[in-house]
Amino acid sequence: MTDRTAPAPGTAPAPGNPLAAPALALVPEGALTPEGVPAVDGTSAPEDTPAPEGTSAPAPAPARACAPALVRPSRPPAPALVAVGHGSRDPRARETLALLLDRVRELRPSLDVRLAHVELNAPLLADTLTALGAEGGREAVLVPLLFGRGYHVKHDLPAAAGAAPAVRTRIAAPLGPHPLLVEALADRLAEAGWTPADSASRSAAVVLAAAGSRDPESLAGIRRTAALLGERLGGVPVVPAYASAATPTVPDAVRLLAARGRHRVAVASCFTAPGLFATRTAAAAPWTAAAPLGAHPALARLVLHRYDRALAAPAPAVLAALPWELASA
């Protein structure tokens, strides 16, 4: 007698078995009949429908594997840009630097931009780096809002970076010398009254007033900036002078130019913000003095340029084991 018992669940039906159920083709997800069975050729196939006599159902099609969801790894944040000013007792100084950094943020809205000071103003650089370290795994580029490689750039900033090992730190080059700095200086002179006629006059000249330093490299940078400014102004004499630590002073430079027949002398202010030095050097101008550079658009672009260059520079091998790196200009 023929065994007409239905096959056990999960086993293939024997050929010619009238109780064998037809296999169901795999169709796109969601194409189900009211009975909950996938549709085949537009019709429903209930579970108890037998295959035609003398035929066998094809083997079930293998289940289609679902592709795993693509998960993109989160990108770590870009290193913070920490702009480091000197600090001043003049309340206008901090306000001016805040405006400069607002302009930097406008140029690159996604960048974490923070202000710090070497001394006199909060937040101090050490406090800013401590706050970054508390966030865990952060990196930072210190951009000195200074104009030469003096003591602060070579000693104070590396010391602060070394005292904050939780933050991987690079130290960018100072703001000068650079054509963008010269652009800002020339614009501030024009705002103070300098004209193309002055550039063509044999009686006009400029004194480039800076803070001063005992570091020869820092003084060389200011002299280079003065030379670039003279070229920008059409060849007019530009003499660097200093508020402290170096000679000549601004009054000395004015007398030197007067001895050469240059009596129409303007003072260009190589300072980021108002303060004691900027006020003192401006007062020595015999004709006109430019305002500090402040939030000039070219200075904001220069801050970002120094940040980008510091990130692009390869880490010096001698500094590879240290938590900070000093970038070149």
pLDDT value of residue 327? 61
Angle at 289 between CA 284 and CA 292, to 5 degrees: 110
Alpha carbon distance 133, 320 (integer Å):
19
pLDDT value of residue 1? 44
Distance of CA 194 to the CA centre of its chain: 34
Ramachandran quadrant class, 261 (left: phi over 0; alpha: psi -120 to 50; beta: rest): left
pLDDT value of residue 290? 98
- Please report, for residues 23, 34, 199, 243, 260, the alpha-carbon distance to residue 29 in angstroms, rounded to integers and kept in the order given: 17, 14, 79, 79, 91
pLDDT value of residue 58? 56
Listed as ranges, residues in the chain with pLDDT below 70 are 1-74, 315-329
pLDDT value of residue 248? 97
